[in-house]
């Protein structure tokens, strides 16, 4: 099989994957705590080390996640928490532990601090319980939570050993791999603050243009390659 055609087709697939990532980022340009997908093409050298000769599926796109801090904006909502610095809030649901960059908490009927999906927000020692009927909640920058002026717990804020290995599951949540130790983080907890998405619309627009041009160039190359093959067949025939 003509490898020129194969590499062309591989690039069409790679660009398709990049478009998926750009569309995901743009759809979440206003999602609090969203971390952008950062696609990159595998380098030529890396592809050669992966196999003894250049693999037919070259180039291919690898999608990593960019955990850079998003811009912080104040909201008037005292039940909205964000982090400044590297780290995640920890919540627990039926499937185990999950991590989130942005937390909008509520108090469930049992008095636990919960996220919108009912998963319990974890403190240093398990879920945080507030006395029934409390409405005034205060969270300091070190994560100490007080309800009606009485300290009820301290939020657990952790780092991941390798954030790239976190599995995103939507709803702003990431599942850490089971072996991850999750060391404590010293990120600053901010109450009434929203971390905006770290997607830059301008960068994604440039990416869209690049994707389209690269896709078009590869398709031209494939057509040229295929026409050359056709001429060769006619001449030898």
Partner 1 sequence: MIKALYTAATGMKTQQVNVDVIANNLANVNTSGFKRSQADFQDLLYIILQAPGAETAEGRQSPTGIEIGSGARLVSTTKVFTQGVLEPTGRKLDVAIQGEGFYEVELPDGSIAYTRDGAFRRDANGELVTPEGYPLKNNITIPRDVASENINFGVDGTVSYTDLQGTQATAGTIELVRFPNPSGLKSLGGNLFAETVASGQAVRGKPGEDGLGGLLPANLERSNVEVVNEMVNLIVAQRAYEVNSRAIRTGDQMLSISTSLTR
Q: CA 69 to CA 199: how far, in whole Å?
A: 10
Q: CA 224 to CA 141: how far, in whole Å?
A: 62
Binding flags for partner 1, 18-57, as an x/- string (CB under 8 A)? -xxxxxx-xxxxxxx-x--x------------xx------
Kindly tell me which residue out of 54, 72, 110, 165 binds partner 1, with binding defined by CB under 8 A: 165
Q: Beta strand 80-84 with 37-41: parallel, antiparallel or unpaired?
A: unpaired
Instruction: Establish if 65 lies at the interface with partner 1 (CB under 8 A).
Output: yes
Binding flags for partner 1, 67-106, as an x/- string (CB under 8 A)? --------xxx-x------------------------x-x
For residues 20 and 92, which CB has a smaller minimum distance to partner 1 in the complex? 20
Which of 185, 190, 179 is CA-nearest to residue 97? Answer: 179
Binding flags for partner 1, 209-228, as an x/- string (CB under 8 A)? --xx--xx--x--xx-----
Q: Beta strand 137-139 with 144-147: parallel, antiparallel or unpaired?
A: antiparallel
Residue 129's φ and ψ, nearest 5 degrees, are -110, 130
Q: CA 42 to CA 47: how far, in whole Å?
A: 7
Kindly tell me which residue out of 68, 72, 205, 224 binds partner 1, with binding defined by CB under 8 A: 205
Which of 140, 98, 104 is CA-nearest to residue 31? Answer: 104
For residues 3 and 75, which CB has a smaller minimum distance to partner 1 in the complex? 75
The SS3 assignment for 93 reads strand
Q: Which residues bind partner 1 (CB under 8 A)?
A: 12, 15-17, 19-24, 26-32, 34, 37, 50-51, 62-65, 75-77, 79, 104, 106-107, 109, 116, 132-136, 148, 164-172, 177, 201, 204-205, 208, 211-212, 215-216, 219, 222-223
């Amino acid at each position: 099989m003509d490898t020129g055609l194969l590499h062309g087709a591989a690039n069409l697939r790679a660009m398709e994957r990049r478009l998926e990532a750009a569309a995901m980022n743009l759809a979440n340009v206003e999602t609090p705590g969203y971390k952008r997908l950062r696609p990159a093409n595998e380098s030529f050298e890396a592809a050669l080390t992966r196999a003894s000769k250049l693999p037919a599926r070259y180039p291919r796109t690898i999608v990593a996640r960019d955990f850079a801090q998003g811009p912080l904006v104040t909201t008037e909502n005292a039940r909205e928490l964000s982090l400044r610095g590297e780290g995640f809030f920890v919540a627990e649901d039926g499937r185990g532990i999950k991590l989130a960059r942005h937390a909008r908490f509520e108090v469930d009927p049992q008095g636990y601090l919960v996220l919108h999906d009912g998963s319990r927000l974890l403190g240093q020692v398990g879920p945080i319980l507030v006395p029934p009927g409390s409405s005034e909640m205060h969270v300091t920058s070190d994560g100490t939570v007080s309800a009606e002026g009485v300290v009820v717990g301290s939020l657990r804020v952790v780092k991941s050993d390798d954030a790239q290995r976190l599995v995103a599951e939507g709803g702003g949540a990431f599942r850490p791999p089971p072996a991850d130790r999750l060391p404590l983080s010293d990120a600053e907890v901010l109450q009434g603050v929203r971390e905006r998405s770290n997607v830059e619309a301008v960068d994604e627009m440039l990416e869209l243009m690049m994707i389209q041009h690269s896709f078009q160039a590869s398709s031209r190359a494939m057509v040229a390659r295929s026409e050359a093959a056709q001429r060769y067949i006619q001449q030898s025939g």
